[in-house]
Amino acid sequence: MCRANWGSDMNNRSDNTLSSMGVTNLYSATTDTRMAHIEAGLKKRRAASRRLRLYGVAAILTAIGFLCILLTTIISNGYTALQQTEIAVAIEVPANEILDDNGLIDKEKSRNYNWGGLVKRSFRKEFPEVTGMLDQRSLGELLSANAGYDLRIQIEKTGSVESGTNIYWVKASDDVDMLMKGRMDRTIDEKMRRIKDNQLVWFDKIVADGSIRLAFNSTFFTAADSREPESAGVLGAIVGSAMALIVTVMLALPLAVMAAVYLEYFAPPGRLTDFIEVNVNNLAAVPSIVFGLLGLAVFLGFFGMPRSAPLVGGMVLALMTLPTIIIATRASIRAVPTSIRDAALGLGASPMQTALDHVLPLAAPGILTGTIIGIAQALGETAPLIMIGMVAFIVDVPASFTDPATALPVQIFIWSDSAERAFYERSSLAIMALLLFLISMNLTAVLLRRKFEKKW
């Protein structure tokens, strides 16, 4: 009924000019004709929206696929670095050389004792058939160059020792480690191999004796960088990164929030304000290495600040993060309803009181998100840190903001560039550490955000 009436109404609107122009005049056609036309088009429209949905699903699947490939590669390359090959060596403890009168280990004596020689001698004893100088040296190369140091630390930890022969597990060299983990092909030509044929024989004998094992690689999480992969760790880089980020947040967050509040609430509209706005937005897109150059020229060159220090690294990263936080803060300030601002101003609050008491607390979740995005960017940044010398080879965990240090991404960069294959798996493990660092930071941000978020 209704449809018929509607149709007849429409039919009255016949348009002679359109018909006379030879245009298919659906506008003045009967309802049925018009509906049939719309229905015919509907199929196409439905197909188009289905297609669009498929594209979307395909895009997401591709993204997930790439992410999976990335993660699998990193994990499959890196997980083996969680373990380190160790060799059991029977060692006659030089008790009278290192103990003091009370039967405790004298640190001074212990430090001066030739532990490296002791390990090598003890190890050679297990292979009496190896006699020549060269052969003995190759035999010694199966053990880590730092095996003596590791043994000293192991023994010092116990506090006191009794003389006699004990079995100690010392680190194997990185080549033995690779061989043990199946990352070295023993079938290729000897010249191309880092472990020679005679070393292979000794290695097989050790394996047959059962005096080799894969143990948890705690060194990786407790040491800083080293020339020997088996003694290298990420702690130094993590501490360096954390210090730099602390400096970054402490500098960038207050500066950016104040700048954003000023630009939103106090800046008189005009050319200067426009100019500053455009520049802040452009600054966010400046390549990070430019900030590194700036840091090198200004902080190191002009102010003479210490090279390779997390303090300077943090300052450079703060410059880089500043525009990101300013933009995020301005956006979240603008998202606070103007009615709240009016309410405060209407009560006679000064603009600053309005901003600090009402607008900023409500904008806090957004500011926090922006800060975390900025900090996450800063955490992954390598180029500006290289410019200010944080790429140096540093074997100590930094103890203060002015100590030379390196950062996680820079450490990954250094290791991935090293010749030793064992550094390759370690750089993958360091990437995992970096990702974990990032995830834990984001998690903190989400939790803080939840806490601050107010319901209307």
Partner 1 sequence: MDTSVDMIPENKLKAQKVNVFYAEKQALYDVTLGIDEKSVTSFIGPSGCGKSTFLRCFNRMNDVIPSCRVQGQILLDDVDLNSPKIDPVLLRARIGMVFQKPNPFPKTVYENVAYGPRIHGLAANRQEMDYIVEDSLKKAGLWKEVSDRLNDQATGLSGGQQQRLCIARAIAIGPDVLLMDEPCSALDPIATSIIEELISDLQSRFTILIVTHSMQQAARVSQKTAYFHLGQLIEYGDTKEIFTRPQNEQTEAYISGKIG
Q: Which amino acid is it at 13?
A: R
Q: Helices (DSSP H) in 284-420: which residue ranges?
A: 288-295, 310-335, 338-346, 351-353, 360-379, 383-387, 408-416
Angle at 312 between CA 288 and CA 429, to 5 degrees: 70
User: Residue from 52, 75, 340, 395 that binds partner 1 (CB under 8 A)?
Assistant: 340
If one asks whether residue 153 binds partner 1 (CB under 8 A), the answer comes out as no
If one asks whether residue 335 binds partner 1 (CB under 8 A), the answer comes out as no
Q: Which one of the spans 173-181, 313-321, 351-359, 401-409 is the region binding partner 1 (CB under 8 A)?
A: 351-359
For the chain, state the CA radius of gyration: 34
Q: At what angle do helices 133-140 and 197-209 cross, to 10 degrees?
A: 60
At closest approach, how far in Å is the CB of 367 from partner 1?
16
User: Residue from 61, 222, 337, 436 that binds partner 1 (CB under 8 A)?
Assistant: 337
**Pick 187 or 339: Cβ nearer partner 1:** 339
| 143 contacts: CB under 8 Å, gap ≥ 6 | 87, 89, 119, 120, 123, 170, 171, 172, 173
User: Residue from 48, 357, 435, 436 that binds partner 1 (CB under 8 A)?
Assistant: 357
**Pick 191 or 454: Cβ nearer partner 1:** 454
CA distance 422 to 175: 8
Can you read off the two tokens belonging to residue 216?
């948890």
Burial classification of residue 271, based on how many CB atoms lie within 10 Å of its CB (0-12 exposed, 13-18 middle, 19 or more buried): exposed
**Pick 267 or 391: Cβ nearer partner 1:** 267
| 160 contacts: CB under 8 Å, gap ≥ 6 | 99, 103, 104, 105
**Residue whose structure tokens are 């950016």:** 256
Show contacts with partner 1 in window 376-435 (CB under 8 A). none
Q: Which one of the spans 88-96, 146-154, 341-349, 419-427 is the region binding partner 1 (CB under 8 A)?
A: 341-349
Show contacts with partner 1 in window 42-81 (CB under 8 A). none
**Pick 9 or 342: Cβ nearer partner 1:** 342
At closest approach, how far in Å is the CB of 274 from partner 1?
13
At closest approach, how far in Å is the CB of 340 from partner 1?
6
Show contacts with partner 1 in window 251-270 (CB under 8 A). 269
User: Residue from 171, 330, 341, 426 that binds partner 1 (CB under 8 A)?
Assistant: 341
Residues forming contacts to partner 1 in the complex (CB under 8 A) are 269, 337, 339-350, 353, 357-358, 362, 454-456
